[in-house]
Amino acid sequence: MSATIEVARQRAARVKLMAFDVDGVLSDGSLFYTDDGIEIKAFNTLDGLGMKLLQRAGLKVAVITGRKAACVERRMQNLGVELLFQGIEDKLQVMRELAHTLDIPMGEAGYMGDDIVDLKIMGACGFCATPSDGYDRVAQYADYVSSRAGGRGAAREVCDFILEAQGKLDAMLAPYLSEERR
């Protein structure tokens, strides 16, 4: 990890907009095709709830990905993620435009990616993360490297890290705890 955990916490504490890649981050990076050419991906429910928790905590959540697949659109609709950008070649340009539209400085934006195509957007954001199984060189530039693999709870770990850094994690978990455990 290029930044210390304390620096990563400080950067995560400022995040108001968190964007995620899909392949290798929200999925394990495997691509499955039916005989009819329909692309299929597996998504982890841990990651989905993490993204919902960020939204409930008042953060904007986006997906910016280079590929385009109907299953991604369906999954994001299910999660209430309206800021979906697929088939994007220049992820940084999209992030800059999105941050401008939302009036959020790039220093308060975050991105989670897993490969070298994500390095420009990660470097321009105030906080960036990668899954444990992301490309080795990407981990060198990330503020936070999850202990979990892409599509296996890595995004959830990052969501929890952000919420904890902002002092919001306990409040987001409270509705799921019994009165005796709070």
CATH of the domain at 66: 3.40.50.1000
| Residue-wise pLDDT tens digits, 115-155 | 999 999 999 999 999 999 999 999 999 999 999 999 999 99
Residue 19, in any domain of the structure: yes
Residue 50 lies in a domain: yes
Pair of tokens at residue 39 = 């692309």
Write out pLDDT tens, residues 1-13: 455 999 999 999 9
Give strand pairing partners of 84. Answer: 63
What proportion of the chain, given as a percentage, has pLDDT over 70? 97
Does some domain include residue 86? Answer: yes
**Prediction pTM value:** 0.94
Among 37-46, 109-118, 124-133, 171-180, which stretch is predicted with the lowest mean pLDDT? Answer: 171-180
Kindly state whether residue 177 falls inside one of the protein's structural domains: no
Give residue 179's pLDDT.
78
Is residue 181, in this structure, part of any structural domain at all?
A: no
Residue 175 within any structural domain of the chain: no
Count structural domains, the chain. Answer: 1
Question: Is 176 a domain residue?
Answer: no
Residue ranges making up the domain that contains 156: 5-115+125-132+144-168
